[in-house]
Amino acid sequence: QLDGLVEQLVALAPERIVLEATGGYEAVVVAALAARELPVVVANPRQVRDFARATGQLAKTDRIDAQILARFGEAIRPDVRAMPDATTRSMRALVSRRRQLQEMLTAEQNRLISAAVQDAPEPLRDQLGEHIDWLRRQLADIDDDLQRQIHDSPVWREREDLLRTIPGIGPVTSATLLSQLPELGQLDRKAIAKLVGVAPLNDDSGKRHGKRRVWGGRSAVRAVLYMAALVAAHCNEQIRGFYQRLLASGKPKKMALVACMRKLLVMCNAVIRSATPWRPVTVDN
């Protein structure tokens, strides 16, 4: 059935084919379309829904969704980007699974602490401990798989080596950036920050000047950048000085950390774009 759909679309030679991201369920269709070099766009569901509301369409059915996607593609004309290859898709799946395992591990560790405080039965605490050990082994296996895939690809290995020259960027951050942000090194600093969701956006209307805030973007990338910024604020001389200056000027810690996330991302973008290892003197504020 999918093969038949692909052949029909090939015959139509469309300018762009717009799909909505559905938590990974769209991946098989996207891969089949990309294999025939069809122009595929995977749209952000929030953007599509906002577009639907803006056009007055509040109802939601499969037929209506298809019509909205067609109108969205025609009106917004989102950029057609190269679809990820099999290696990238595999890396994304591993990174996603690692995130799930880490969340489960954190939850189980919190349960074990709670069980100890409440003097829960020993068998319960033993079971939690065994599950925590299992999750840690699974995380170690995932990390090994990620490193194996990176090292099996000369291109990916070179990019990871470049990213790892930046103090604060570890294996999990580099793997996430490489798999979840293929645009890294292809966009300028403002565009990459906006894409990830760490660029302050204006909220002004008339004479009112609202607070600038970050919004949207790629949550998986932001999550690893946040942890990397916490580390870099201590071990990366340039980020540490930047962070301390922001705090000294009265900026809240969270705002200062977001600024450090953006600065780290700009550094990562610069080393990939120039194919040159990071050096403090080459990256400005």
3-state secondary structure of 42: strand
Q: Percent of the chain, pLDDT > 70?
A: 93
Tokens standing for residue 270: 């610069």
> Which region, left, alpha or beta, applies to residue 17 given φ > 0 means left and ψ of -120 to 50 means alpha?
beta
- Sequence-distant (6+) residues with CB within 8 A of 15 are 39
pLDDT in tens, 33-55: 888 888 999 888 888 999 999 99
pLDDT of residue 27: 82
Q: Could you tell me the residue ranges of all domains in the chain?
A: 2-76, 86-152, 171-282
Distance between alpha carbon 132 and the CA centroid of its chain, in Å?
A: 26
Amino acid symbol at 93:
A
The CA distance from 278 to 265, in Å, is 12
Is the model's pLDDT at 276 over the cut of 50? yes
> In the predicted model, what is the mean pLDDT of the chain?
90
Q: Is pLDDT of 282 > 70?
A: no
pLDDT at 285: 47
- At residue 160, the pLDDT reads 96
Q: What is the pLDDT of residues 236-268, one digit of tens each?
A: 999 999 999 999 999 999 999 999 999 999 999
Q: What is the pLDDT of residues 66-96, one digit of tens each?
A: 999 999 999 999 888 777 778 888 898 999 9
pLDDT of residue 157: 94
Q: Where are the beta strands (DSSP E) in the chain?
A: 17-20, 40-43, 204-205, 208-209
Q: Which residues contact 48 (CB under 8 A, 6 or more apart)?
A: 20, 68, 69, 72
